[in-house]
Amino acid sequence: MQQSYQAMTWHSAAWASVNTRVHAGQLPHALLVGGERGVGKRLFAEALAHKLVCEQPQGPDLLPCGGCKQCKLVAADSHPDVRFYAPEKSRMIKVDQVRALSGFAVASPQVARRKIIVIDRADQLNINAGNALLKTLEEPTADSILILLQETGRPVLPTLRSRCQSLVLPTPGPEAATRWLDAELAEAEVEVTASAAQRSQALTMARFAPRLALEFLAGEYVTLREEALSTFRRFMKSEVSVSEAAKPFKTLGPEATLWLMELWASDMARISAGGQGRDTEAADMLGFLAGSNPSWRAHELLDAIREARSAQVYNANPELEAERLLIQWLGLMPARKRRVS
Q: Which residues are at the interface with Zn ion (CB under 5 A)?
A: 54, 64-65, 68, 71
Contact (CB, 8 A) for 237 and 226: no
Least Å distance, CB 23 to Zn ion, is 17
Least Å distance, CB 50 to Zn ion, is 8
Nearer to Zn ion, 64 or 318 (CB): 64
Nearer to Zn ion, 54 or 258 (CB): 54
Least Å distance, CB 51 to Zn ion, is 9
Least Å distance, CB 293 to Zn ion, is 59
Least Å distance, CB 317 to Zn ion, is 48
Contact (CB, 8 A) for 295 and 108: no
Least Å distance, CB 1 to Zn ion, is 12
Contact (CB, 8 A) for 298 and 290: yes
- Residue closest to 33 by CA, chosen among 129, 143, 142, 146: 146
**SS3 (DSSP) at 132:** helix
Exposure of 252 by Cβ count < 10 A (0-12 exposed, 13-18 middle, 19+ buried)? buried
Nearer to Zn ion, 5 or 288 (CB): 5
Nearer to Zn ion, 38 or 64 (CB): 64
Query: CA dihedral defined by 313, 203, 42, 66, rounded to 10 degrees?
Result: 170
Nearer to Zn ion, 29 or 50 (CB): 50
- Residue closest to 234 by CA, chosen among 268, 285, 159: 285
| Interatomic CA distance for residues 331 and 339, integer angstroms | 12
Nearer to Zn ion, 56 or 276 (CB): 56
Contact (CB, 8 A) for 224 and 248: yes
| Interatomic CA distance for residues 334 and 203, integer angstroms | 33
